[in-house]
Each structure stands twice: as structure tokens, then as C-alpha cells.
């Protein structure tokens, strides 16, 4: 069952109940422990229970995994702006 659903342009993104799995368009990411996800104009961000943050391209290619947050890394995340009207 679906816990959270959002839409970015023509792509739907749905998180499974309890953070088990993420469906992006017609592609399933078999991930466990997801607590949140968000779209930027060119990136998909996924947060996990263990405080890890994964950054994906819109083609679902893993770009970076952040395990500990320093001010430099947080500044990097602020650059991933959300499109107007979202």
C-alpha cells in the first residue's frame, strides 16, 4: 500500500508503507527504511532512517550518498532548489 505520493511534471513518485520501496514513474527502487523523498528540478533526494541521504539524477542514477552532515554539505543541498509552483 502507498504511504506517500507526489508528482513532478509528468512523473509520479510513491513511497511504500513503512518506507519499503519507492516507485518513480514505472521504475521501482527496492529500498528499505525511507523516511522522506523530494524532487528538485534535476535531482531526487531520498532520506533514510539511519540519517543517510542519497541524491539521484532524474534518470535514477545514484550521484552521491551523504552519511554525515557538515556545513559544507548542507550548503550543497541548499543549491538543489525546488522549481516554482511546486
Strands (E) across the chain are located at: 2-8, 11-16, 22-24, 27-29, 34-39, 43-48, 53-57, 62-66
CB 3 within 8 A of CB 16: yes
* Residue 25, C-alpha cell as written in the block: 514513474
Per-residue confidence (pLDDT) for residue 44, from 0 to 100? 87
Mean pLDDT, the chain, rounded, equals 77
CB 14 within 8 A of CB 5: yes
pLDDT digits over 48-57, tens only?
A: 888 888 989 8
Q: What pTM, to 2 d.p., does this model score?
A: 0.69
Amino acid at each position: 500500500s502507498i504511504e506517500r505520493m507526489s508528482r513532478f511534471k509528468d512523473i509520479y513518485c510513491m513511497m511504500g508503507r513503512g518506507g519499503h520501496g519507492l516507485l518513480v514513474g514505472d521504475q521501482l527502487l527496492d529500498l528499505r527504511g525511507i523516511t522522506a523523498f523530494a524532487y528538485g528540478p534535476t535531482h531526487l533526494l531520498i532520506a533514510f532512517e539511519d540519517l543517510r541521504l542519497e541524491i539521484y539524477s532524474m534518470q535514477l542514477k545514484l550521484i552521491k550518498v551523504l552519511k554525515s552532515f557538515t556545513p559544507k554539505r548542507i550548503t550543497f543541498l541548499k543549491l538543489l532548489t525546488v522549481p516554482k509552483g511546486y
